[in-house]
Structure 1
Amino acid sequence: MRLLIAAGGTGGHIYPGMTIAQVWQARHPDGEVLFVGTARGLEKDIIPRSGWPLRLIRSAPLSRRPSWKTLRSLGLAALGLGDSIRVLRDFRPDLVVGTGGYAAGPVLAAAILQGLPTLIQEQNAFPGLTNRLLSRFAGAVALGYAEAAKHLSPRARIFVTGNPVRPEIVARERDEALHHLGLQGDKTVLLVLGASQGARTINNAMIQVFSAFLPRRDLLVIHQTGKDDYERVRGELEKLTAGGPKGDGTVYGNIWVLPYIHDMPEVLACTDLVVARAGAISIAELTARGLPCILVPFPFAAENHQEKNARVLEREGAGVVILDQELTGPSLLVTVEELLADKARLQRMAANSRRLGRPRAAWDIVDLLDSLL
Structure 2
Amino acid sequence: MASIIQEIGTPLQLAALFLLLVFGVLRLLVRSGKWTPSAAINRLVINRIFQTAIIALVLGVLSSTLGPSFNRWMNSSEVFHGAVLSTTGDPIAGATVNLITIATVSTNGVGQFDITVPQDRMQKEYKLQVKAPGYETPDVMTKSAAEMQNVEIRLQPAPPELVKTLGPPLYIGQYFGNPFALVSLRVENAGASLTTINEIRATLVTKDASFVLSPAFWTIVNPFGPFAPVTGPFPILAGARLDLRVFLMPGMNFASLYSKVGALPEYKLQPPCVQKFNGSVDPMSDDAYAISKAFAEEHFAWREGEWHLKIDVVAENQAKTFHRDFSLSSGEVDRLRASIALLKQCLSANTAAPLAQDKGMANFLEK
Pair in the same fold by TM > 0.5: no
Q: Bigger relative contact order, structure 1 or 2, given CA contacts below 8 A and separation 6+?
A: 1
Task: Report the structure, 1 or 2, having the larger strand content.
Answer: 2
TM-score by length of 1: 0.20
Structure 1 or 2, whichever has the larger Rg, is 2
Task: Report the structure, 1 or 2, having the larger helix content.
Answer: 1
